[in-house]
């Protein structure tokens, strides 16, 4: 198998999770399980910041490091993080390098107290704000836009009557996609970008309020889904659990379509739409528009499996899993050499010979970025006896980069940007190749307005 099975995919930047309770709870433990449920959104670093509202002002405790959630946090770490409110973060870097200094949440002490911030997304006017802060004497530890946002809020707080007012001033300047959690010693503030590019939802368990990137993370701690944070909305939880809601900005909505195609967990609902049903419907649309003469339908784990089931349901061709996956190999993208990464991936994903030998196969995947992944998979399937392989992709061709927190590379690395569909078919070695059409995206998300700039170049911001 090729070395790029895990590299040749778009990556979400981050996941955020926060809890607020006036009662004596161990916030860090809830956040730990919430972050574990969001691990798919970022595997490079993890962090938790908590505060005990009944303790002295500014008693924020933090722990963060490089690695997966269960690598960064151990029992003694969670026991040390004492507090009844807190925020957490898992990160995949798009802005700022993969270094410990860029791990989140960001927390800073300033003249009026302490704040911590966790952020999912990408701010496209960060450099402008950073330069302003540097001119005022600010010094940064890392290179992420999240640190810039935190410092700007602290700076605005010096001239504002409340932390909410400071947040409002800063958020109105931000351009891009973002879901932001801000922790002060007495408050949890949740903000979503005015286009709805990044997901954010609210939940509740007893007297505890929860805010998370996805509803599946609420389920992980037994919290009930309440609603999505509205695009452009700031939700503040304070006092005895008092919740205030403020619409800061409104723009034309443009929800990220790739949450439904690839990023989000199957058991999540985002803006009222089931991720599972969206992917099933994408597979159904492929079967209607681009049928194939085949004996079996299968999907590339894990992202292509649900769309493959949808294709099977619509076409009547049986679905069978054609790959055995070893979940204990570890993260192949951090292997130091290409040879080591190639070996690790070959161990992690293997073709099941009995499924493909002598069969005409429909192979479903969610996207083609550079094409090397799919080429290696198809080569292996032929080696194990597949007669023909008809590739169906449950998204339109990637033509343009994303600037809002999704790690889609520039045009030079997007195979569809400089090649025809026939070129790509030959490159990956498929017998046929078809993509979901832009028109069929509506079959996945109904009338929800979505951002599809990576497919058509029409950027909402």
**Which pLDDT belongs to residue 102?**
77
CATH number of 337's domain: 3.40.50.2020
**Which pLDDT belongs to residue 452?**
93
Residues 125, 36 share a domain: yes
Examine residue 105 and say whether the peptide bond preceding it is cis (omega within 30 degrees of 0): yes
Residues 61, 179 share a domain: yes
**Which pLDDT belongs to residue 95?**
46
Residues 248, 396 share a domain: no
Q: Is residue 8 part of a domain?
A: no
Q: Among residues 253, 286, 307, which one ends one of the domains?
A: 253
Q: Which residues of the chain have pLDDT under 50?
A: 1-7, 94-96, 331-338, 340-342
Q: Among residues 188, 221, 253, which one ends one of the domains?
A: 253
Residues 297, 370 share a domain: yes
Q: Is residue 101 part of a domain?
A: yes
Residues 48, 124 share a domain: yes
Distance CA 283, CA 305 (A): 9
Residue recorded with tokens 């895990």: 6
Of 14, 22, 190, 201, which one is the catalytic site residue? 14
Q: In the annotation, is 14 catalytic?
A: yes
Q: Among residues 253, 280, 308, which one ends one of the domains?
A: 253
The residue segments making up the domain with residue 408 are 272-456
Residues 212, 353 share a domain: no
Q: Is residue 2 part of a domain?
A: no
Residues 197, 312 share a domain: no
Structurally, the chain folds into a number of domains equal to 2
Q: Is residue 366 part of a domain?
A: yes
Q: Is residue 259 part of a domain?
A: no
CATH number of 38's domain: 3.60.20.10
* Dihedral, CA of residue 84, residue 90, residue 94 and residue 98, to nearest 10: 110
Q: Is residue 5 part of a domain?
A: no
Q: Is residue 266 part of a domain?
A: no
**Which pLDDT belongs to residue 347?**
65
Residues 284, 213 share a domain: no
**Which pLDDT belongs to residue 99?**
60
Q: Which residues 6+ apart lie within 8 Å of 428 measured at CB?
A: 368, 371, 374, 375, 378, 391
Q: Is residue 71 part of a domain?
A: yes
Name the DSSP letter for residue 459: -
Global pTM?
A: 0.90
Contact by Cβ (8 Å): 60, 39: no
Residues 287, 243 share a domain: no
């Amino acid at each position: 198998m090729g070395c790029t099975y895990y590299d040749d995919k778009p990556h979400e930047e981050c996941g955020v999770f926060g809890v607020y309770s006036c009662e004596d709870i161990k916030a860090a433990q809830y956040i730990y399980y919430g972050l574990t449920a969001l691990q798919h959104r970022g595997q490079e670093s993890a962090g938790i910041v908590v505060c005990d509202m009944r303790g002295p002002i500014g008693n924020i405790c933090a722990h963060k490091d490089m690695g997966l959630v269960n690598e960064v946090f151990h029992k003694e770490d969670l026991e040390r993080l004492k507090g009844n409110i807190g925020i957490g973060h898992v990160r995949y870097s798009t802005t700022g390098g993969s270094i410990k200094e860029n791990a989140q949440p960001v927390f800073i002490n300033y003249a009026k107290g302490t704040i911590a911030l966790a952020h999912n997304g990408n701010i496209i006017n960060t450099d402008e704000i950073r330069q302003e802060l540097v001119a005022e004497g600010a010094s940064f530890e890392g290179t992420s836009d999240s640190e810039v946002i935190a410092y700007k809020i602290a700076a605005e707080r010096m001239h504002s009557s409340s932390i909410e007012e400071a947040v409002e001033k800063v958020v109105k300047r931000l351009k891009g996609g973002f879901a932001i959690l801000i922790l002060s010693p007495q408050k949890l503030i949740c903000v979503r970008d005015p286009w709805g590019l990044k997901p954010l939802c609210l939940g509740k368990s007893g007297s505890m309020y929860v805010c998370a990137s996805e509803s599946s993370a609420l389920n992980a701690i037994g919290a009930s889904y309440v609603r999505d944070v509205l695009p452009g909305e700031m939700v503040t939880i304070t006092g005895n659990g008092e919740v205030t809601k403020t619409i800061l900005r409104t723009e034309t909505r443009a929800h990220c379509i790739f949450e439904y195609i690839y990023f989000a967990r199957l058991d999540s609902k985002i803006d009222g739409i089931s991720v599972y049903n969206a992917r099933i419907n994408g597979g159904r649309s492929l079967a209607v528009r681009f049928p194939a003469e085949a004996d079996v339908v299968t999907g590339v784990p894990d992202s292509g499996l649900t769309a493959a089931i949808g294709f099977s349901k619509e076409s009547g061709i049986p679905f069978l899993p054609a790959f055995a996956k070893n979940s204990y190999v570890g993260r192949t993208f951090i292997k130091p050499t290409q040879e080591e990464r190639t070996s690790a991936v070959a161990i992690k994903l293997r073709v099941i010979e009995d499924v493909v030998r002598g069969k005409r196969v429909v192979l479903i995947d969610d996207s083609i970025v550079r094409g090397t992944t799919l080429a290696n998979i198809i080569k292996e399937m032929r080696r194990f006896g597949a007669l023909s392989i008809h590739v169906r992709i449950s998204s339109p061709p990637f033509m343009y980069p994303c600037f809002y927190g999704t790690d889609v590379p520039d045009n030079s690395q997007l195979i569809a940007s400089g090649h025809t569909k026939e070129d790509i078919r030959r490159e990956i070695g498929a017998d046929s190749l078809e993509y979901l059409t832009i028109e069929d995206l509506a079959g996945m998300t109904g009338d929800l307005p979505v951002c599809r700039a990576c497919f058509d170049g029409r950027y909402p911001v």
